[in-house]
Amino acid sequence: MKFMQDLRRLSFYRNRSSESQASKDSAIQSTTESPAHSPASSTDTSPPPSLLALPETSHSEISSSSSTYAPIIDNIAQNQAVIYQVILLEGHIPAGPKPDGVVTIRHPQNLSPPTTWPVLQAKFKAIAYLQPGHNIIEIEYSPVRSRRVYTSTHRLVYQPMTSCPPVRLVVAHARDSKHAQNETAESENTNMVLAKAKYRMAAYLWQGFVAESMAKHGHSRRTFQLESSWEESTLYTQDLEYADSRNQAPVHVMALDKSLDELAATSPEDLAAYLEVNLKKNFAKHTSSNQYFACLLLDSELAKNGKSVVRGISYGGKGKIYQNLNLALFGSEFLSSYPASIDEVTSAFADSSSTPNLPEAVKWKCASGGMGEQLKVLGHMLGLPQQSSGIMSDDCKRFGYTFSASTAHQGNEISLHPLDVMRLHSHPSFRSPWSKPQTSRTSTGVSFWAISDSVLQVGSRSGISAVEIYKPGDTVCQHWLDLLNKRGPPRVSIQLSINDIANAAMVSAANRRTSVRRTSVQGPFNLKIITADGNEFPVIDVEAFIKKLKLDIPGIKKPVFSNHPIGRVCGAVTVSSSECPSLVVFPTGSTRMLNMTVYHTPGASLSGIEFEFEELPKLLLGTRGEEAHKEWPLNVVAGENIMGMEINTSKDGDSLCGLRAHTTTGRVSPWFGAAEGDIISHRLICPEMFRIAGMRGESSNGELHSLQFIIDH
């Protein structure tokens, strides 16, 4: 009801403006013309066709004034740098009785046509197109029943990003599709140019939505990047009329070899695989680097019953066939309700007319829900899971509220979930000029150390962004620990106690699972460690997980702790002289380590590690393989000892590829085995107040395929 009232008020202002045009003409002689508006261009004399509900204003006929009524931008500071081209501006009129009206966005350099946006209850939302470098944006406020214009300027810097992988926009159609002809058709639904324009505009709105969400959570305006190409523009209605060219995101067209009937008969799973193969063949045939595609199937349409979609598809994530492809696949069933240009955004999210194929659905809801659902799929492609709220939940249907000035929508806008922000902060497509340089191309793993009966220390060389906590019965994360440092580098380690986890999950002590087991067991706590490089590592039943890392080792009188094994573990590790498994216990007291020898197959796998101590036999973990071996002496005089290792494993984690040792004096050994490549790197450094008391592992067929450190106080 409130939304409809806003629409009626805008219609009233339009009619009121037309009736009072004669009185405006007679009052022109008493006003002073602003130099900024003289002479006025021919495009300034009327608003864009999509904004006819707004009051008409002739800019050559009214005076301009800067005062306390001048509009103020609230969501972005003056002179701020941004890395995306189409930006949302939210602002207010600072003084007076808060009359309605319009604001006009102008570029003094005439880089783009002026656009007009409604002001409701002294608040407005507008969209501006930026050029690389410094941009001066004029915001003119024209109140209702007034001939005056109040002007302010806002300066922004647009810095294009070329050092991160963009999201590539693709539209696909069947060989007999009505979109196959790139000609203007009688119906806009069959116009390829218009379909590409609507899809491009949706992508710009997704990009702006994500940037605003990141900023609202206290981060810089990071967002995914789009490609850029100099081509005939569709960003403004005027651009289409005059065939103007601009830098804009290209939309690639992919013709499929299947017919409409064949696509309709294909299951969603097979259709996703079919599109994946075609994307690889057409756009990523000769590359193995990560590629990001947002692909719209133009031939999706609502069934006659309005409850199902013919040739529908919705998939977001890594490719099922090609792991280097990241895919967001969706249909075009609501594309006709999308805005095709910047000056159509207001009308698209205010159009209460019904859709042709679904009379009970209004167009603005189809536009908001359609773009929201597609952005959710895009989020899945970027690694975001289902959430309890925000754009990655059923709230995505309210996507359009972010761009609507209606007072009915104020306070109901959605955003990214905080956990989404933590995942995206370091995503490769979200890099910014202020990002920390990427120093390694190697994937990093997570280390887990038990340091007491109820405390787990977690470490990652790339940093830890968050810890998700799942109570019994949770299907989506409701509780988490935010570890992301918004200003400095991320934390590389954290200690988690059972009590900390239970308190974060807001579970009473009477109901939570404890090591004493005196209360009724409600189920275990599960964790998910989110690292700054975008990976995540689950911990099932954290209390049982810690318990397994507490060991009773022959030769050591007291119970000791360990890290979670690196590599492939066959089963329970016991002391044995056979190939699988083995254990070495380091001597205590004043006995010093002399050197370490690593047996390995060059560039392939490790066979064994041998330690030599003063006046003691050598200790061998694994086997002395028949291939190369390297001996690395320690500084005996300085009392140097091993305090940890970096261990490289294969991508599947089944084999150990290489290692290097870290010592108590800060020295680092050379790499033994593979130092880089298609591997996962684990950094295992002994926790403070502990020492390495030994190592254990498993080997078979002459290969060492798991390692674990034993630590004690």
What is the tally of structural domains in the chain?
4
- Report which residue type is found at 577: S
Residue 659, domain CATH: 2.100.10.30
Verify that 384 and 491 share a domain, yes or no: no
Tell me which of 185 and 400 has the higher pLDDT: 400
Q: Quick check: 539 and 525 in contact, CB under 8 A?
A: no
Q: CA-to-CA distance for 92 and 480, rounded, in angstroms?
A: 35
pLDDT of residue 180: 61
- Same domain assignment for residues 518 and 420: no
Is 575's pLDDT higher than 50?
A: no
In this predicted structure, the answer to whether residue 36 has a pLDDT above a threshold of 60 is no
Least confident range from 475-479, 562-566, 589-593: namely 589-593
Mean pLDDT lowest for which of 40-54, 249-263, 447-461, 616-630? 40-54
Predicted local confidence at residue 459, as pLDDT: 94
Domain-terminating residue out of 519, 547, 575: 547
354 and 218 within one domain: yes
Q: Are residues 502 and 558 in the same domain?
A: no
- Cα first-last separation, the chain: 69
| Interval 208-247: pLDDT, tens | 999 999 999 988 899 999 999 999 999 999 988 888 899 9
Sign of the C-alpha dihedral computed for residues 473, 478, 479 and 482 taken in this order? positive
Which residue in the block uniquely carries the two structure tokens 């989506």? 476
Same domain, 463 and 505: yes
Of residues 125, 117, 147, 120, the one with CA closest to residue 22: 147
Query: 423 and 467 share a domain?
Result: no
Q: Report whether 560 contacts 551 (CB < 8 A).
A: yes
pLDDT category, 577, cuts 50, 70, 90? very low
State the CATH number of the domain containing residue 83.
2.60.40.2470
Q: Where are the beta strands (DSSP E) in 288-423?
A: 291-297, 301-302, 309-310, 314-318, 325-331
Residues 342 and 424 in one domain: yes
Judgement on whether residues 628 and 685 belong to the same structural domain of the protein = yes
Q: What is the mean pLDDT of residues 608-636?
A: 85
Shared domain check, 59 and 137: yes
So what's the pLDDT on residue 309? 79
- Range scoring the smallest mean pLDDT among 407-411, 425-429, 569-573, 674-678: 569-573
For residue 536, what is the domain's CATH number?
A: 2.60.40
Q: What is the mean pLDDT of residues 65-91?
A: 89
Chain segment 305-354, per-residue pLDDT in tens: 666 778 888 999 999 999 899 999 999 888 989 999 999 999 999 988 88
**Which residues make Cβ contacts (< 8 Å) with residue 699, sequence separation at least 6?**
579, 580, 581, 582, 607, 608, 622, 623, 705
The more confident residue out of 299 and 36 is 299
Q: Clarify whether residues 541 and 576 are in a common domain.
A: no
Residue 209 and residue 249 in one domain: yes
Last residue of a domain, one of 403, 429, 455: 429
* Domain-ending residue, one of 136, 158, 180: 158
In this structure, the strands spanning 691-700 and 656-663 are unpaired
Q: In this structure, what token pair is assigned to residue 423?
A: 């995942």
Q: What secondary structure does DSSP assign to 254-321, as a single string?
A: EE-SS-HHHHHTS-HHHHHHHHHHHHHHHHSTT--S-EEEEEEETT-EE-TTSSSEET--EEEEE-SS
Q: What is the pLDDT confidence band of residue 411, given thresholds at 50, 70 and 90?
A: confident
Q: What integer pLDDT is reported at residue 48 of this predicted model?
A: 33
Domain span at 32: 2-158
Mean pLDDT lowest among 267-271, 353-357, 579-583: 579-583
Of residues 279 and 54, which shows the higher confidence score?
279
pLDDT of residue 155: 94
Residues 149 and 203 placed together within one structural domain of the fold: no
> What residues contact 661, with CB distance under 8 A and at least 6 apart?
596, 632, 642, 644, 645, 668, 669
Which helix or strand (DSSP H or E) is residue 65 part of? strand 64-65
CB distance 250 to 231 below 8 Å: yes
Cα–Cα distance for residue pair 634/664, rounded to 1 Å: 10
Query: Which burial class, exposed, middle or buried, applies to 162 when counting CB atoms under 10 A from its CB (0-12, 13-18, 19+)?
Result: exposed
Ranking 27-31, 71-75, 648-652 by mean pLDDT, the lowest is 27-31
Angle at the Cα of 539 from the Cα atoms of 534 and 541, rounded to 5 degrees:
155
- Contacts by 395-398 with C-beta closer than 8 Å and gap 24+? 396/369, 396/372, 397/365, 397/368, 397/369, 397/372, 397/373, 398/368, 398/372
- pLDDT interval class at 487 (50, 70, 90): low
